[in-house]
């Protein structure tokens, strides 16, 4: 989370192609592509670029700065929720998105997309709420209004600190934090101090709020044995949004099945369909109103003997390719 005044026109897009190349390369080598992480990357990048088709819909960064004074005074929830998706410059965006790519892939792959999405929503509310509470507490109890209560900040890094806490919560390994080797479970705290020492413009309370949000999330999750209500809501919403797609896909499949027929060639899985009978010779599924196989001519009562058995033997002698060719010719 970066603080300070935003300057229009100070945007150089030389780093964005490198971010895109890095993201494509990471996703290309993954057997499963985490969709929520990709969506977060895309939304942050699109908000920063402000393409023409979104320009009229997106508020400007001056309207969404995270400022405790303005949020509490005006009850401005737009600043509370949207400030995490805005970045002051290209290096700020690229640094956060590369970190999100690495953490998001690991967390989403391990916990699943629905659980990961619910975690991101919870961490957003917790980190922003804790940051707001810390700023207000410093003002009320210590009369310390500046820079925290009146500071302007944006960026995704508060959530990234929370993700780092969760990712390393059970790790027994050591990690490198800007050249300093520390236990992985304390990496977020070490990074908080080092970044504040060398990059004074960043929001200390925003990063601290993210760390505390990650710790609180783990505590709440560990103490609650029931299903996550937020995960259940997201799963139901996702299922509701997918229903039109499933309906169209199933309709298309049914229509295609009616056009191409229900049959299978080549000894596939034996299955019984309502209103059909399967030819013992070529395994084609025929309608009940047909007495002979529509594909090879074998009688439905192939066990009765005589002509039907001869036809059955003859059809078995046909090659798989010949049966396919006859089926294609029959249905044009």
pLDDT above 70 (res 256): no
| pLDDT at res. 243 | 67
**Helix axis angle, 113-142 to 90-111, nearest 10°:** 130
Tell me, letter by letter, the H, E, C secondary structure of 137-164: HHHHHHCCCCCCCCCCEECCHHHHHHHH
- Predicted confidence at residue 227, as pLDDT, reads 67
pLDDT at residue 309 is higher than 50:
no
Catalytic residue among 3, 113, 118, 157: 157
Contact 327, 320 (CB under 8 A): no
Per-residue tokens: 301: 């009562």
What pLDDT digit, counting tens, does each position of 160-172 carry?
999 999 999 888 8
Residue keyed to tokens 């990059």: 199
84-136 confidence digits (pLDDT tens): 999 999 999 999 999 999 999 999 999 999 999 999 999 999 999 999 999 99
Whether 134 is covered by a domain: the verdict is: yes
Are the C-beta atoms of 41 and 120 separated by less than 8 Å?
Answer: no
The answer to the question of residue 160 being in a domain is: yes
35-49 vs 16-28: helix axis angle to the nearest 10?
170
- Whether the predicted pLDDT of 68 surpasses 70: yes
Q: How confident is the model at residue 110, as a pLDDT?
A: 93
Q: What is the average per-residue pLDDT within 21-33?
A: 93
- The least confident of 31-45, 63-77, 225-239, 293-307 is 293-307
pLDDT per position as a tens digit, 190-215: 999 999 888 878 889 999 999 999 99
SS3 content of the chain, % helix, strand, coil (to 5): 60, 5, 30
DSSP labels, 95-133: HHHHHHHHHHHHHHHHH-HHHHHHHHHHHHHHHHHHHHH
Report the SS3 class of residue 278. strand
The one catalytic residue among 3, 113, 207, 315: 207
Range name among 71-80, 103-112, 134-143 with the lowest pLDDT average: 134-143
Q: How many CB atoms lie within 10 A of CB 228?
A: 17
Max Cα–Cα distance, the chain, nearest Å: 103
Most confident of 208-222, 239-253, 312-326: 208-222
pLDDT value for 245 = 65
- Residue 82: is its pLDDT beyond 90? yes
For residue 268, what are the CA distances in angstroms to 260, 272, 298?
17, 12, 18
Token pair, residue 211, equals 């760390």
User: Which of 116, 126, 128 minimizes the C-alpha distance to 78?
Assistant: 128
Measured from the Cβ of residue 9, the count of other Cβ atoms closer than 10 Å reads 4
Range of the domain at 108: 13-231
Q: Is residue 182 part of a domain?
A: yes
Q: Is 69 a catalytic residue?
A: no
Q: At what angle do helices 204-223 and 187-198 cross, to 10 degrees?
A: 170
Q: What is the pLDDT of residue 191?
A: 93
pLDDT tier at 37 (50, 70, 90 boundaries)? very high
Q: What is the mean pLDDT of the chain?
A: 81
Three-state SS at 173: coil
Domain CATH code at residue 107: 1.20.1540.10
Q: Any catalytic annotation for residue 157? A: yes
pLDDT for 154: 95
End-to-end, the C-alpha distance of the chain in Å comes to 64
Identify the H or E element spanning 181.
strand 180-183
Residue 20: inside a domain, yes or no? yes
Please check the confidence at residue 291 and state whether its pLDDT lies above 80.
no
pLDDT surpassing 90 at residue 3: no
| pLDDT above 80: residue 233 | no
Whether 222 shows a pLDDT value over 80: the answer reads yes
Asked whether residue 307 is domain-assigned, the answer is no
b/e for 100-131, b at 16 or more Cβ within 10 A?
Answer: bbbbbbebbbeeebbbbbbbbebbbebbbebb
Give me the pLDDT at residue 263, please. Answer: 47
Give the model's pLDDT for residue 327.
65
CB environment 87-96: b (16+ within 10 A), e (fewer): bbebebbbbb
Query: 120 lies in a domain?
Result: yes
Residue 304 has a pLDDT of: 43
Number of domains in the chain: 1
Q: Which residues does 117 contact at the CB level (< 8 Å), separation at least 6?
A: 36, 234
Is residue 23 in some structural domain?
A: yes
Residue with tokens 């990650």: 214
Asked whether residue 143 is assigned to any structural domain, the reply reads: yes
- Residue 207 is predicted with a pLDDT of 95
């Amino acid at each position: 989370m970066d603080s300070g005044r935003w300057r229009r026109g100070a945007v150089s897009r030389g780093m964005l192609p490198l971010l895109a190349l890095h993201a494509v390369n990471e996703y290309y080598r993954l057997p499963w592509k985490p969709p929520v992480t990709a969506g977060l990357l895309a939304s942050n990048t699109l908000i920063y670029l402000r393409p023409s088709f979104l320009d009229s819909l997106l508020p400007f960064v001056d309207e969404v700065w995270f400022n405790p004074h303005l949020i509490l005074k005006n009850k401005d929830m737009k600043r509370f929720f949207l400030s995490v998706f805005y970045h002051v410059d290209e290096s700020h965006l690229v640094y956060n998105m590369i970190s999100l790519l690495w953490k998001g892939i690991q967390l989403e792959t391990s916990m699943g997309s629905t659980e990961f999405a619910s975690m991101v929503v919870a961490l957003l509310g917790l980190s922003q709420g804790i940051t707001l509470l810390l700023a207000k507490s410093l003002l009320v109890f210590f009369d310390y209004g500046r820079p925290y209560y009146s500071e302007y900040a944006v960026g995704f890094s508060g959530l990234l600190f929370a993700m780092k806490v969760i990712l390393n919560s059970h790790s027994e390994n050591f990690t490198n934090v800007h050249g300093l080797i520390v236990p992985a479970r304390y990496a977020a705290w070490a990074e908080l101090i080092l970044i504040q020492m060398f990059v004074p413009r960043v929001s200390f309370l925003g990063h601290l709020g993210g760390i505390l949000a990650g710790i609180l999330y783990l505590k709440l999750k560990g103490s609650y044995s029931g299903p996550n209500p937020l995960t259940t809501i997201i799963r139901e919403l996702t299922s509701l949004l997918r229903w039109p797609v499933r309906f169209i896909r199933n309709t298309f499949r049914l229509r295609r099945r009616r056009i191409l027929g229900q049959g299978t060639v080549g000894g596939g899985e034996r299955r019984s369909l309502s209103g059909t009978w399967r030819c013992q010779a070529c395994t084609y599924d025929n309608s009940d109103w047909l007495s002979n196989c529509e594909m090879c001519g074998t009688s439905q009562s192939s066990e009765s003997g005589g002509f039907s058995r001869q036809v059955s033997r003859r059809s078995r002698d046909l090659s798989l390719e010949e049966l396919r060719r006859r089926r294609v010719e029959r249905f044009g």
